[in-house]
Amino acid sequence: MSRYNISHETIINAPVTKVWKELIAIDDWSWNRWTKLKSSTPPKEGIQGKLLASYDGNDVWKEFDFTFGKVSESDYLLTWKGSVGLGGCLFSGYHTMRLEEVVGEEGVESETSNTTTRLIHREEFGGLLAKLGLGLPYKTLDRNYLLMNEALKECVEGKK
């Protein structure tokens, strides 16, 4: 556990199935200027790939190894993880993007239905480097994860 863990929630004015379609299509994350997941297959637990991170959203990418964690269409859950050192003793990160259907929440309604989606976007960091606040630009990541949420929201809400 690290004090640098990140958590953001965003309400998206679209049905959960529409948001899931954009989220799970990792080969077409054109909305996402900060993170790309490269894999030889669609997301599936245990599949390894390369995570590309652009801290400034400017197409300058840093590459990291990752492995998909649980991926569940029925739970609208996409997770991935990475680590450095034996068992992540130096550093580990566990990234979660989960969707929840929100029905009839006051003040929140989409144009096409009365359902909206809550995007819950988190990363938990572990290992010695994370405990010391080293290894990654945590404040920048915190900002970028919120920007990712807002970009996904804009993408989905803009599609008819």
The pair of structure tokens assigned to 29 is 């994350």
pTM of this structure: 0.91
- Percentages helix, strand, coil for the chain (3-state, rounded to 5) are 25, 40, 35
Residue with tokens 């976007």: 121
Q: What is the spatial distance between Cα 138 and Cα 6, in angstroms, rounded to a whole number? A: 8
What is the pLDDT confidence band of residue 118, given thresholds at 50, 70 and 90?
Answer: very high
- Reading phi first (left if > 0) and then psi (alpha if -120 to 50, else beta), residue 104 is in left
- Return the pLDDT at 87: 87
**In this predicted structure, what is the pLDDT of residue 110?**
43
Give 71: exposed, middle or buried? Use CB within 10 Å, 0-12, 13-18, 19+.
middle
